[in-house]
Amino acid sequence: APYYIKVKRRPFGAFGGVLDNHVDTTPIYKVNVQFDATWTEQPLDNDTSATDPVYLSEFGGSLTNNDYVIVDRDDSPKVPEYIKVITPLAQQVQKFRVSNCADPDEDVFVVNSVTGEVQIGNPNIPGSVLTINSSLNMDGGCGTLGTVEFTGDTNAGTNVITNVQVVTSGKTIADLQRGDVVSVVTDSSPLKIFQDTTVDFVFGGAVYLSRTIIGSSSVSGGTFKAQRNERITATDGGNNTTFDVDTCSGTTTIGTHAGRFDLNLAWSSAAGILTNANLPSALNDDNIITYGYYADPTSIQSNGASSTIISTAAGSGSGTLQIALQQIGEGTGKFTVGDLIAVGPLTSFTSTTGQIEFMTITDVVDGTNTIVATRAQEGTVEMSHQQSDVVRRVIKHERQSLVVDAQIRQRLAAGVPTDYLSVILERGYISQTKLDYKQWLRFSNTSSGVEILTNVNGRLYGKNHTSQMDEQLGDGAKSYREGSLTVTDNLTLEGGNFVIYDSVKQTKLFQFVNDDGHADHSGLINWDAGVIGRGDLFLYPTSCPENVITTLACEPSFSVDNLGNVTALTTLTVTGVPTPTPTEEDVFSVRNLGISGGSEYTIKKDRSIDAFGLQNFTTSNGARHTRYLSAASPEADLTLIANIVYMVNVQNTQTLIVTLPAAPKTGDVVRMIDVGGNLKYDTTLVIRTPETSGTPIQGDAVGTLFGDRITPYPSGELVVQTPNAGFALIYLGAIDSNNQIGIPTSVQGWWLMEV
C-alpha cells in the first residue's frame, strides 16, 4: 500500500455524470455490468417519493435486491438515474412455443426460457407420444430445489416438531413444504429420523412428519434440515399423484390412496354451515386437514367399551366431567385411562347426523362404574349430557389427510334424483373400507379454526369427480385402491425390510425385518394373519451357523413336513387359559390313534384325559377310569377292558360271569373289587378268558360248570367267593414290553397280584 488503479470515466459515454469531489477513504466497489438494453413500459413519475414501480419491457436473467438498473429520464440531453431494485413486482416469462396451428391454436411443445422447464403435449390433445431412440439420462438432485434449517422441540416416538424457528437466512416457516425430506443436523443428537421422512403438514408453528422420530429421549432446540429434492412425478391427469420417484434417494411410490366418501353433516362450529349444501366451499379450502375416527370394535359386545350414563353427568373441575355409567366393560373392552371416547345422545350414534363430544379419560373408578374425562377434545365443544346418553370408546387414525375435492352430486333413490355430499380424500385409508363400525370424519380449518364433523355414510368408487360416475355406495368387496405392480421375473431385495399394512395403514399384517446390520445373521418375520401353505417348514436354532440353509448341517429345532410329521427339538408347552370353572374342552389332542383311527389322546381343560378309546381314562382328579358292574349291566359291559378298575356288586345267590379282554398285551392289568360284600358259597363272581382262546389263569386253562354248562369251561377261569375281595390280574404274553421273545407257554396267561 498504497495501491493505484487506472480507471476510465463515463464508461457508458454521456449516459452518466461526473463528480470531482471524491475525498480520501471514499469506498470503491467492483460491479458486474450486464449490458442488456431495454425500455420502460410505463413512464416514471416526477414526485419526490423514495420508491417507484419500474416496468421493463424485457430482461434476460433475473434481478435481486442487490442489483441496480440505469434508467434515462430524457433522451436529449441524457439524464440517467441509478435505481436500486427493492423487490420484483411481476415477471412475464419468455417461452419457446410450438403449436398445432389448429382452431383453437394449442401449444404442444413449450420451453421456459428462464427455468428450462419443458412441456410436451397438451391435455386438450390426448394421445401425444414421446419417443426416445437412445438413452435417457436424468440428473436429479438432493436439496437443489431448496433447503431450510430450523430448530424445534420433539420427543422420540412422536411425529411432531413444535416451537419451530427457521434459522436459514431469508426463509420462514412458510418455506417448508409438504414432501420436503427432513433430517437431524444436531451432532450426537439422541434422536434419529428414518430415511425418506418428509414434512406432512405445517400448521400452528409445528411441523408434522410422515414418520415417527426414533431414539430414547426428548430434545429442546434441536436443529433439523428440510431439503426439497428433484423428483419424477406422474399424475392420473387429475389431482392424484400415481407415480413418484425421489431422485436423491431413489424412493419410489406407485399408486394412490385417494378415496371417495358419501358424508353427512353431523355438526359444525360455524354458524353458516347448516346443511350438506354449505360444505363443498368450506371443505375445498386449502387450509383444511381431515381426521378419521371409528367406534372401537369391542363396543359392539355386551361387555365392551360402550355404555350409557346413569344420571346427568356432573363437572368435577375445570374442563373435566365425572360420568357414572351402567358398566365400564371387561378385559380389552374395559374403559381405561387415556381412552378417547365419544359422548352424546343415542341418535348421534344410530343416525347419519347428530352432535357428539370427544373426551379423554383421566380416571376410572371401578367400584362405582364412574369415569372422569377431559372435555371438548378433537375440535368438539362442551355439551350437556343427560341420562341414557351413550359413552363409546373411539379410535382415532394416526394419520391425517388433505381434501382433494368436495361436491354436491346426485344419485337416483327410488327413481328420484337425490343430492348427496361426495368428498375425495388424498388418504382414503383414514376411514375403513367396510363400515363395520360407526365412522366420522372431522375437517379442521387450520387458518379460521372452523371445525366440521361429518358422519361417514359409505365409500364410493372413483378418485376424480367426473360428469358421469358410479354414484352408488360400494360394499368394499372390490378394492378402492389403484397402483398394482406386476413383475414377470425375479424380485430381489438387496437389504431393507418388507412390510404389508392393513386396509387403514395402521397395523403391520406382515413384516420381514432384515439382519439389523449384522452380516449373515438371520432376519425376523412377524405376521398378523392366518397362514395357509403347502410344503415343509423347518426352523433352526440360533446356535446353528448363518449358512445353515445351504449346508443343512444342523438339527432343526422345529419342523413340520408335508406329510404332517412334527418335530420339536426340546420342549412343547401349551400355556392354556385359566378359568375358575374349567370344562371338558380339549386343550391338547392327538387323534386317529389305534386300529382304523378309532382312538385319541386328549387332555381336557378340567385335567381329565381321554385315551385308549376311553373317555375319562384319567379323571379330572387323576383317578383311573372306574366302572360299576352288576347282573343288570349290559352284556357288552361284561367283557372287560384292560387297565381300568371294576367295582362289582353280585346279589345274593347270583353268579356273575365276566370275560377278560380278547387280545391282551403283556402288562395289561384288570383290577376288581367286590363292593356288594355278598360273595359266599352260593354267590359267585366268575372271571374267565375268552372260551376259544385257551388262555390260562394262574397256569390253569380248564374251568368249571358255572353258567349251567354241561362240560367244563375250556379256558382259564377264576372263581371268587370271598366277600369284599379286591385283586388284580396281570397278563404275560409271548412277547414282553421290551419285545423279548421265547417266553415259555407254561408261564403265559393271567396272573393274580395285589390280592
| Per-residue model confidence as pLDDT tens digits over 595-653 | 999 899 999 999 999 999 999 999 999 999 999 999 999 999 999 999 999 999 999 99
The 10s digit of each residue's pLDDT in 489-514 is 999 988 889 999 998 888 999 999 98
88 and 207 both lie in a single domain: no
At position 503, the amino acid (one-letter code) is S
**548: confidence class by pLDDT, cuts 50, 70, 90:** low
633 and 741 both lie in a single domain: yes
**547: confidence class by pLDDT, cuts 50, 70, 90:** low
- The answer to whether the CB of 182 falls within 8 A of the CB of 229 is no
Domain boundary among 102, 124, 154: 102
**48: confidence class by pLDDT, cuts 50, 70, 90:** confident
HSE-CB at 341 with a 13 A cutoff on CA atoms is 35
Q: Is residue 647 part of a domain?
A: yes
**44: confidence class by pLDDT, cuts 50, 70, 90:** confident
The 10s digit of each residue's pLDDT in 561-578 is 998 899 998 898 888 889
Weakest-pLDDT range from 270-279, 359-368, 437-446, 496-505: 496-505
The 10s digit of each residue's pLDDT in 288-325 is 999 999 999 999 999 999 999 998 777 766 799 999 99
Q: Is residue 22 part of a domain?
A: yes
Q: Looking at residue 409, what is its pLDDT? A: 97
Q: Is residue 450 part of a domain?
A: no
**250: confidence class by pLDDT, cuts 50, 70, 90:** very high
650 and 741 both lie in a single domain: yes
Q: Looking at residue 479, what is its pLDDT? A: 83
The 10s digit of each residue's pLDDT in 684-739 is 999 999 999 999 999 999 999 999 999 999 999 999 999 999 999 999 999 999 99
The residue segments making up the domain with residue 728 are 626-753
87 and 154 both lie in a single domain: no
Tell the burial category of 199 from Cβ atoms under 10 Å away from its Cβ (0-12, 13-18, 19+). buried
Q: Looking at residue 477, what is its pLDDT? A: 82
- Going by the DSSP 8-state scheme, the letter that residue 41 receives in this structure is S
Domains of the chain: total: 4
Q: Looking at residue 352, what is its pLDDT? A: 93
Domain boundary among 71, 102, 133: 102
632 and 721 both lie in a single domain: yes
Q: Is residue 73 part of a domain?
A: yes
The 10s digit of each residue's pLDDT in 377-398 is 999 999 999 999 999 999 999 9
C-alpha cell at 370: 364412574
Q: Looking at residue 49, what is its pLDDT? A: 82
The residue assigned the cell 363400515 is 435
**12: confidence class by pLDDT, cuts 50, 70, 90:** confident
**213: confidence class by pLDDT, cuts 50, 70, 90:** very high
**523: confidence class by pLDDT, cuts 50, 70, 90:** confident
648 and 735 both lie in a single domain: yes
10 and 95 both lie in a single domain: yes
Q: CB 486: neighbour CB atoms within 10 A?
A: 4
- The answer to whether the CB of 229 falls within 8 A of the CB of 247 is yes
Q: Is residue 400 part of a domain?
A: no
CATH number of the domain encompassing residue 733: 2.60.120.640
Q: Is residue 565 part of a domain?
A: no
**552: confidence class by pLDDT, cuts 50, 70, 90:** low
- The answer to whether the CB of 194 falls within 8 A of the CB of 214 is yes
The 10s digit of each residue's pLDDT in 122-181 is 888 888 888 999 998 989 999 999 999 999 999 999 999 999 999 999 999 999 999 999
In the predicted model, what is the mean pLDDT of the chain? 91
**549: confidence class by pLDDT, cuts 50, 70, 90:** low
53 and 153 both lie in a single domain: no
Q: Looking at residue 435, what is its pLDDT? A: 86
98 and 151 both lie in a single domain: no
Q: Is residue 253 part of a domain?
A: no
Domain boundary among 231, 256, 279: 231
639 and 696 both lie in a single domain: yes
**pLDDT above 80: residue 462:** yes
**pLDDT above 90: residue 38:** no
Q: Looking at residue 551, what is its pLDDT? A: 66
Q: How many angstroms separate the CA atoms of 386 and 721, rounded?
A: 82
**pLDDT above 70: residue 349:** yes
Q: Is residue 212 part of a domain?
A: yes
Q: How many angstroms separate the CA atoms of 622 and 625, rounded?
A: 9
748 and 650 both lie in a single domain: yes
**pLDDT above 70: residue 357:** yes
Check whether the bond before 2 is cis (ω within 30° of 0).
yes
Weakest-pLDDT range from 173-177, 452-456, 477-481: 477-481
**pLDDT above 90: residue 416:** yes
C-alpha cell at 725: 375281595
- Going by the DSSP 8-state scheme, the letter that residue 596 receives in this structure is G
Q: Looking at residue 608, what is its pLDDT? A: 96
Global confidence as pTM:
0.74
76 and 166 both lie in a single domain: no
C-alpha cell at 672: 376288581
HSE-CB at 379 with a 13 A cutoff on CA atoms is 26
The 10s digit of each residue's pLDDT in 74-97 is 666 667 788 889 988 887 888 899
